[in-house]
Structure 1
Amino acid sequence: MKKILLLITLVISLAVFGQESIDFQNTGFKEILAKAKKEKKLVFMDAYATWCGPCKLMEKNIFPQKSVREYYNANFINSRFDMEKGEGREIARKYGIRSYPSFLFLNGDGEVVMKSYGYMDENQFLSLAKEANNPKLKSGSYKEQFEKGENDPEFLMNMIRLYAESDYELAKKASERFFAGKKEPLTREDVGLLLYFLKSPTDPNYKIFTERKNEIANVMSEDVYNQFDVNIKLSKVMENSVDQKTGIINDGYFMTNAVPLVGKTEAETALNRLKVIYYPNIGNFGGYEKAALEYYKKSENFDPEELLKAAWLFSEHIDNKESLAKASEWAEKSVIKSETSENTYILAKLYSKIGKTENAKMYAELSMHLAETQGKDASLAKKLLENLK
C-alpha cells in the first residue's frame, strides 16, 4: 500500500512539475498565428534543436521560473518548434534561423516583432518579453503602424534593428524619421546607425550628420568624421561612374566630379579603392591588378589581412611576375604577423609562380603542417607540394 501511495505521489508530482513552466501550445504554426490574431496577442516562439545545450538549460532553468511563466502565459501565445524536424524546417528557412536557441516574437500575420538568441538569465528573458510586448504591435504590423505615421522613438528603434538586414530601404526610412525627431544627445549607437543608413549627401540623414557635427565628432574624432564626410560625398559619384552593363568605370567622369569635392590626391585614392572593390566581383582582374598595385603602393598603411586578401587574388588570377613579386611582399606581412595555414599557403603559391621554388616548398610544408595540427583541410598545400617536386 505504501508503495502504491508513493507511486501516486510521484505521478502527481511529475504532473505538477510538468505544468510549472511556460504553457506551450501543442498545435500547428497556422493555428497558433490564428489564435494570436483572434486574442490580439503576440506569439512567442522558442526555436530550438534537440542537441543544443543552451536550449536544454533554458527549458530546465528559465522557463519554469515563476516570474517568467506567469508573464509569458499571460501575455503571449507560446510555441516551441524543433528547427530540424517537421514544420520547424520550414519555419527555420522562412525566418533565417541559424542559431539556437532563437526566440521570436511574431504578430498574428507572422511578422517578426522582436528576435533574439542565446541563453539568457531570468531578468534578461523577462526584459526581452516586455520590450517585445508593445501594445501597438498586437493588432498591426510594424509596416502598418509606420505607414500610419507612428513616430515613437522606441518603436522606430526596434523597427530599425528588425529590418536593417531584411529590408534595408524600410529601415532607412525609419531611421530618417527617428533622427528627425531625436532631440537628446546622440549616443555611440545612434551615430553608428546614422552612418549605416547614410549613403549620399542627398539623404535626409545627411542634414543630421552636418547639423550635429560636434556631437558626432566627439564620438568618433573630427578626423574620422571628415573621412566619413568625404566617403559620403563621393558615394554618388562612384555610383554614377560605373556602367552596370559593361562593368567599365569611367575614370574621367569620376575625377571631374570628385576632385572639386575632395581634391586630386583623395580622388585618385578613392578611384583606385573603388576599382579594388568592384573589379574582382565582375572578373576584371586586369583592371584589378593595375588598381591594386597603385592603391597598395604604400603597403605599410594597410592591415596585413587586407593585404593578404589582395595577395590571394593575385595568386589566383595574375600571371605577371613583377606584380606577383609585389603580392608576395603583401603576403609576407601577414605571415610575419602570425603564421596560419592560409597565409603560408598563399605565400607558397606566390613563390612558386615567381620561381622561388625552395621558398615555395618550405611554406607549403609549413601550411600543410599547420592545417593538419589544427584539423583543417591540407589538400591544397599537399597538391602544391606535389607540383613542386
Structure 2
Amino acid sequence: MKKLIILSLIIFGACMHAQGIKFEESNLSTAMAKAEKENKLVFIDAYTSWCGPCKLMAKNIFPLPVVGNYFNDHFISVKIDMEKGEGIEVAKKYKVSSYPTYLFLNSKGEEVHRGLGSYSNVDEFIQVAKDAQDPNRNLSVLKRKFEEGEKDPAFLKNLINLTVRFDADFAVKVFERYSLSSKGQMDKEDIMLLTSNIRSTASPLYPFFKEKKSIIIKTISEEEYNTIDRNIKLSTLLNNFKQHPDKFSDTNFLAEARKFLNKEEAERELSKYKASQALSKKDIATYEKLTLELYKEYSTASPEELNSVAWAFFENVNTKSSLEKAIMWAQESVKKNKSYYNTDTLANLYKKVGDNVQAKKWEEEANALKVSGNY
C-alpha cells in the first residue's frame, strides 16, 4: 500500500511537471511580488483578442511540456490582453504595438528583454527566454553596450531587429551608427528592415529614410525608392481617413492624394479606398462593382495585389461571372510569381465555380509548393 501511494505521488508529480506554461490567475503587481519572492523574472504574454499569431502560440507552443518545463522553472508568467483592463496601461508603459509581444521584467517592473511574433520552432522560442536570463544577451544589456559605443555591425543589426518595432526613436540612433559602421552601405535586407517598419510619415524612421536616399539608391533603383516613398505617404493618407472618417470626402481625398500622385493615380486610389470601406461594411454589391471596374485591366498589378483581390472575391462574392474574373486575376498572379498562396487561391476559386478537375489540379500544385516551403 505504501509503495502504491509513493508511486502515485511520483506519477502525479510527473504529470504536474509535464504541462505547458502555467499562467498566473492574478494581476501584474501580484505576479511581480511572487517573482521577487522566488527570485525569478516575470514573463508577460502581451496579446489581443483579434491577433491570429497570438492564438497560434496559445494553441501550439504554450501548452507544450518542454516549453512549460522551462518557463515554469524560471519565470512567473501572466497573460495580459493589451486592450483591456490593466493591459491598456501596460501597453502604453512598455510601448507594445505589435502582437504577440513577449515581455520579460524584473521584480521592479523594469524591462530586461522582449521577443516578438509567432514561433513555430520551439527551440527558438525557448532561446528568447534564455536570452532574457543571460546578462550578455538580454536587451537591457545590449542597450547599455550600445550607449558605451559598441560599433560591431552584426551587434547593431541585431539590436535594430529587437527595437525597431517598439522603440523607433532608439532604433534610428542604432541605424545611424550601423550605416557608419557598414561604410555608408545598406544592402537589400537592411533596406527591407528599415522600410517595412515605417507605417507613416510620422514615424521617426521616415526622416532617416529620406536622409539616406543617396545611400539607399546605391542598392535599389531610384524608381524603387520613389515607389516605397509613395506607398508610405499613401498609407499615411489612408490611415488618417480611417481614423477620422468624418473628414472624408472625395474632394478632400483627391486634394491630399494629388500632393504626391498624378490625377489618374489619385482617382484609382480613391476607388480602392471606397472598395475597401464597402468590404469592411459588408456592402458586397458595391465592393464587387468597384473592384471589377478597378481590375478591368490588371497587367501592371503585382502578383500579391492580384492574389489579395482574388482571395477577397472567393471569400465574399457569389456571382459566377465575377468569380471567373477573379480566376483570371489569380492566374495572372501565378504567372508572375507562382507560390503556395496564389495556387491555393486558384484552387479554391475553381472549386467555388464547380470546376473540380481544375480545383484538384491546383490544390495538388499548392500542396507541393507548401511542402517545398515556397510560400
Is residue 91 of structure 1 aligned with residue 77 of structure 2?
yes
Q: Which residue of 2 aligns with 1:173?
A: 169
Is the contact made by 2:284 and 2:316 (CA closer than 8 Å) also made in structure 1?
yes
Supply the distance in 1 between the matched residues of 2:219 and 2:179 (Cα, whole angstroms). 17
Letter in 2 for 1:271: L
2:357 paired residue number? 362
Match of 1:307 in 2: 306
SS in structure 2 at match of 1:261: coil
Of stretches 281-290 and 362-371 in structure 1, the one that deviates more from structure 2 is 362-371
* Number of the residue aligned with 2:137: 132
Query: Which aligned pairs between 1:38-57 and structure 2 lie closer than 5 A?
Result: none
1:329 CA drift (Å): 1.7
Specify the structure having the higher radius of gyration (Cα). 1
* Residue 214 of structure 1, CA deviation: 0.7
**1:252 correspondence with 2:238:** no
Which whole-Å CA distance do the structure 1 matches of 2:358 and 2:75 have between them? 44
Match of 1:346 in 2: 349
Partner of 1:261: 260
Distance 1:48 1:241 in 2: 38
Residue 285 of structure 2: aligned partner: 286
Using the TM superposition, give the Cα deviation of residue 30 of structure 1 relative to its aligned residue in structure 2, in angstroms.
5.4
The match for 2:97 is: none
- What's the TM-score once normalised by structure 2's chain length? 0.54
Are the aligned partners of 1:254 and 1:271 in contact in 2 as well (CA < 8 Å)? yes
1:91 maps to a residue whose letter is: S
Q: CA deviation at 1:363?
A: 3.6
CA distance in 2, matches of 1:36, 1:204: 37
The residue identity in structure 2 corresponding to 1:172 is A
* 8 Å CA contact 2:169, 2:205 repeated in 1: no
What is the CA-CA distance between 1:281 and the residue it aligns to? 3.4
- Does residue 297 of structure 1 match 2:302? no
| Contact residue 107 and residue 137 of structure 1 kept, 8 A | no
Q: How does 1:113-128 map to 2 (within 5 A)?
A: 113-115=113-115, 119=123
Count of residue pairs brought into register by the alignment? 284
Deviation at 1:43, TM superposition (A): 8.4
Could you state the TM-score of these two structures normalised by the residue count of structure 1? 0.52
1:304 to 1:43, Cα distance in 2 relative to 1, 3 A: closer
| Residue aligning to 1:327 | 326
Partner Cα separation in structure 2 for residue 228 and residue 369 of structure 1: 35
Structure 2 portions without partners, runs of 5+: 1-30, 45-60, 83-101, 370-375
> Identity of aligned pairs, percent?
28
Q: Quick one: distance in 1 between partners of 2:114 and 2:171?
A: 17
8 Å Cα contact 1:157/1:175 also seen in 2: no
Question: Is 1:194 the counterpart of 2:194 in the alignment?
Answer: yes
Residue 216 of structure 2 is aligned to residue 230 of structure 1: no
What is the CA–CA distance in structure 1 between the aligned matches of 2:132 and 2:242, rounded to whole Å?
A: 47
SS in 2 for 1:298: coil
**CA deviation digits over 1:11-67, x for unaligned, max 9?**
xxxxxxxxxxxxxxxxx9855545658xxxx7899x987665xx8xxxxxxxxxxxx
1:298 to 1:156, Cα distance in 2 relative to 1, 3 A: same
Shift of 1:251: 2.6
Q: Residues 288, 178 of structure 1: CA spacing in aligned structure 2 closer, same or farther, 3 A cutoff?
A: farther
SS in structure 2 of the partner of residue 113 of structure 1: strand
What is the SS of the residue equivalent to 1:219? coil
User: CA contact under 8 A between 1:331 and 1:347: conserved in structure 2?
Assistant: no
CA RMSD of aligned residues (A): 5.3
- TM-superposed CA distance for 1:347, in Å, is 1.7
Inter-CA distance 241–153: structure 2 relative to 1 (3 Å threshold): farther
Residue number in structure 2 paired with 1:213: 213
Contact 1:33–1:43 (CA<8 Å) still a contact in 2? no
> Following TM superposition, by how much is the alpha carbon of 1:225 offset from its aligned partner in structure 2, in angstroms?
0.7
